[in-house]
Structure 1
C-alpha cells in the first residue's frame, strides 16, 4: 500500500507533489518504458539496483529537484518532472516522464507549466531550458503550449529509431508562460500588493483572438469584454500585435496610393 500524495501546487487537472519512496518501482517502470528511453535519446534501460541506489542521493541534492505529477480527479500519480538547477546562473534544465498509459491526454503541457510556475515564482529562477529530439513532435507541441520557445539546435546530436537526428534546445522566461500563475492563484490576496512589481509574472497577459478592424468598435464598447481590477486609477488597455497584415497597411490616402 502506498502513501497518500503530498500535494504542493494544484493546477486544473493536475498537481505537483513531493516524490514518494514507495512509488519508486512505478517511477522506475515509467523511465524504462521503450517510448521513454527513445524520447530521452538513451539506448539502454536502467537497472533497478542503480535506480534504487541513486534515489536517496538525488533526494539530498538541492540541485536536483523532483516533483511527482498527480491527477486531481483520483489522486493517482501519472508522472514526474525534474529541475536540474544551476545555482550560479539561476537557471535549470527541465526533464519530464509520464506513465505510458497517461500520454496523449494533455498532461505533459500542464505538468510543464506547473513546474515553470514553481521555478519562476517560488524558486526565483531566471530561465528554464530543455533538450528534445526533433522527431518528438508531440513533446515539442506540449512544451510550446507550456511556454517554451525554440532557442537552438544541435545537429545530429541524437538518435531516433537508429537514425541520427537533430536535438532542439528550448527555453522559457517568466513572461513566456501562458495564463495566470498557479502559484499566485493559490496564494490569492497575499501577493496582491506585489503584483505591480512584476506585471509579466503577475498576470502573464497573452494575445487573444485577432479581431477584424470592422468589429473592433463594437468589441471595445461591450463592457463584458473588459476585466476591471480593484485599482480605481485603472482605465483600460488595448494590446496591438505586430503582424504581416498590419505592416502592409499604409498611411497614404487612396488618392496618394493611386498616383
Structure 2
C-alpha cells in the first residue's frame, strides 16, 4: 500500500459528527478539489460556472494555506464518516477577530451526498467551531433564491434569513434575489465541541 493510499484511509480529523467528519485541507487532494470545482452542478449554486485549470486550483490552495497561517480563514475537507471518503470542502473566511465575525461557505462535491443531510450537518459543525472554538459571535452567508436545498440545509443548521438583494443574480434567463443569512452565538447550542472545549478540573 503506498503512502497516498494510507493517507486516504486514515485522514487527519478535527471534528466528528454523526454523518460527517471534518479535517484539514490536503495538498494531495487538490486534483479532487479541481474536479469538484469543474462540476457545473456544484458551481450552479456557488459561482458563475466556468472551467478552471489544475494550476489555478493549486494556486488557490497555496493562498488558502497562507490565509490559515494568519488566522483569516479556516478550511476543512468534509468526509463521509462511515467510509472516510472525502466528499466536499467547507470554510470560514473573512474572519474578523475584533468584530468576532466571519463568512461561511460549503460545497458538497460528490453528487450522491447532496440532499441527504451531509450539508446541514457540516454547516452545524462549522458554526460549532466558529462559536465554541474561535469565539466568534456572528457568521453569515449568501445564497441564491433558486438554491432551495441550500436554504433548507442552512436553516436546519441554525442560519436565519436577514435580508435580500433583489434581482441581483442571473441564471437561466431570469433574475433572482441574493439571500443573506446569518447565525449568532446566542442563538446556537453546541452539538459536539462543548464536550471537548472545557477547562481542566483541579486534581484532588
TM bracket, shorter-chain basis: 0.7 to 0.9
Larger C-alpha radius of gyration, 1 or 2? 1
Offset at residue 191 of structure 1 (A): 5.0
CA contact (8 A) 2:33 2:57 kept: no
For residues 50 and 144 of structure 1, do their structure 2 counterparts lie closer, same or farther at Cα, with a shift above 3 Å needed? same
Give TM-score scaled by structure 1 length. 0.69
Which residue does 1:114 correspond to in 2?
Answer: 125
RMSD: 1.8
Residues of 1 paired with 2:49 and 2:16: CA distance?
A: 35
Aligned length, in residue pairs: 190
Q: 1:145-192 CA deviation, whole Å, 9 max, x = no partner?
A: 0000001101111122242110000000123335x43101345xx459
Answer yes or no: is the 8 Å Cα contact 2:101–2:137 preserved in 1.
yes
Cα separation, 1, equivalents of 2:135 and 2:173: 39
Instruction: Give yes or no for contact 2:40–2:49 (8 Å, CA) kept in 1.
Output: no
Structure holding more strand per residue: 2
CA contact (8 A) 1:184 1:191 kept: no
Q: Identify the match of residue 55 of structure 2 among 44, 49, 61.
A: 49
Deviation of the 1:44 alpha carbon: 1.8
Normalised by the length of structure 2, the TM-score is: 0.86
Quote the offset at 1:39 in angstroms. 0.4
Where does residue 64 of structure 1 map in the other structure? 73
Cα distance between partner residues in 1 of 2:187 and 2:97:
21
* Gap regions ≥5 residues in structure 2: none
Q: Say whether 1:136 aligns with 2:147.
A: yes
